[in-house]
Amino acid sequence: MYRLKQLADDIYYVGVNDRQKALFENLWPLPYGVSYNSYLITDEKTVLVDTVDVCYSDIFFKKIADALGGRTLDYLIVNHMEPDHAGSIRLLRQQYPDVKIVGNAKTFGMLEGFHGIKEGLHEVKEGDILDTGRHKLVFYMAPMVHWPEVMVTYDSTDKVLFSADAFGTYGTLDGGVVDAEMNTDHYWEEMIRYYSNIVGKYGSPVQKALQKLSGLDIRMICSTHGPVWTEQIPRAIRMYDRLSRYDADKGVVIAYGSMYGNTEQMAEAIASSLAENGVKDIIIHNVSKTPSSYILKDVFKYKGVIIGAPTYCNQVFPEVDSLLSKIEMREVKNRYFGYFGSFSWAGAAVKRLTAFAEKMKWEVVAAPVEQKQGLKEDKYLECLTLGKAMADRLGRD
C-alpha cells in the first residue's frame, strides 16, 4: 500500500510524521511538527535501524511489512534508547519474535528497564561489523550525544551514516525525505533550536564524535529527525561543529522580563544603543511571551547576551530565573554578557544576574544597570553605555 522512499538499492525510509504533539519532551514547541525516522535494509539479512514513537507503531509496522514483502525481520539496530525512537521495540518484538536486537551494553540495560527485554540480543562494541550480505555495518560509540548509550551505524558499502539524533532537526517531512528534493531553508533554524534544546550541554562529546567520524567517507546522513542529508552534508556537519564549540555570530540577544514596562524601557534603550553603534543582528525576547526554546536558540546563535529582570517577591522575576537555569544547565561557553534590573523597594534581580555571570564565567562587558521605580535620565544613559560597550566588544573580535 505504501510507496516507500528508496534511499539506496536496498535501503528504505520507513519513518513517520508527528503533527499532533504540541511540545517535544513536553517542553519544546513544535510549530512544524517532528518526524521520527527509521530505516530498513533489505539485504540477505534484513535490518531495521531504530523504531518510532509508540503512538505511530501501527503505520510504522505497515510500512515495514510493505518493504519486507513477506520476508521476516532479522535484526533491529538500536542506536538510541530514547522513547521517541525506541518506543515501539516491545511491539516490534511481538510482531517479529525472532528479531535479534543489536546494541551495546548500556543499550541493553535500558532495553530491560523500558521494555523488560533480556533475550535475543546481539552486543556490539566500538568498530564491530555486522555483515548482512552486501552491506557491512560498522558501529561507533557516541556516548552523551546526548544519552550515554548512543552509538551510530556506518554502512561502509553505500557510505551511509545512521547518526541517531545527531544532525537532526525539528519539523515534519512534508512530502520529500531527502534534502535534494525539498526546500530545506526552515530546517536550519530548527536544527539550531533542536541542538540548543536537546544536545546543547554536550559540546565536548559532540566534538569527540565528530573527530571520530571525520575519516569516514559519508555520502548520506540518516538522522532520526528531519531530512536525510546528501547534498548538504558539509553544511550540517559545519553547523554541529560550530554549535558544539559554542562559536557564534556577531549579534546580540536581549532577553528581559517586565511587569509594568519599566524594565522593558531599559531593554529598548540598550537595543537602540547597539544599533547606533553598528550592531545589525539584534534579537529582543520578552520572556513572558517567547518560549525559552527560542531564546536558547538565539543564545547559542549569537555572541552577545544581555538579560534584564525586575525584582519579584524579593527574588528575580520567575520567568527570567527559569531562563537562567536553562542556560546554566547547558553550560554555554564564551559569551559576552551584559545585564540590568529594576525594583520598586528592594533590589534582588541584579544580584542573581551577577551570580549567574560568575557561574557561567562569561565576560561582562560593562557594569550592570539597576534602576529604582521609573527610568530616570541617568539610568537611561547607563543603558546606552551598556549597549555601546557590548557593540565595542563585538567589534574587537
Q: What is the DSSP string of 337-396?
A: EEEEEEESSS--HHHHHHHHHHHHTPEE-S--EEEESSPPHHHHHHHHHHHHHHHHHHHT
Which domains does the chain carry? 5-244 (3.60.15.10), 253-395 (3.40.50.360)
pLDDT over threshold 80, residue 17 = yes
- Report the amino acid identity of residue 276: E
Q: For every residue of 148-178, which 3-state class applies, written as one string?
A: CCCEEEEECCCCEEECCCCCCCCECCCCCCE
Give the confidence band of 56 by pLDDT, cuts at 50, 70, 90. Answer: very high
Q: What is the pLDDT of residue 1?
A: 65
Nearest CA among 76, 89, 87, 67 for reference residue 21: 87
The pTM score is 0.95
C-alpha cell at 42: 533489505
Nearest CA among 216, 190, 171, 189 for reference residue 37: 171
pLDDT over threshold 90, residue 3 = no
> How far is Cα 330 from Cα 25, in angstroms, rounded to an integer?
16
Full strand arrangement of the beta sheet holding 160-162: 129-131, 136-141, 151-155, 160-162, 220-222
Q: What is the pLDDT of residue 132?
A: 98
CB 338 within 8 A of CB 364: yes
Q: What is the mean pLDDT of the chain?
A: 96
Mean pLDDT of 264-272: 98
Mean pLDDT of 247-257: 97
**Each residue of 75-103: pLDDT tens digit?**
999 999 999 999 999 999 999 999 999 99
Nearest CA among 122, 110, 59, 56 for reference residue 82: 110
Give the confidence band of 198 by pLDDT, cuts at 50, 70, 90. Answer: very high
- CA–CA distances in Å: residue 198 to residues 155, 176, 293: 26, 25, 10
Nearest CA among 4, 154, 142 for reference residue 65: 4
Mean pLDDT of 173-192: 97
> Looking up cell 523500558, which residue turns up?
114
> How far is Cα 353 from Cα 86, in angstroms, rounded to an integer?
40
> How far is Cα 205 from Cα 212, in angstroms, rounded to an integer?
10
Q: What is the pLDDT of residue 2?
A: 66
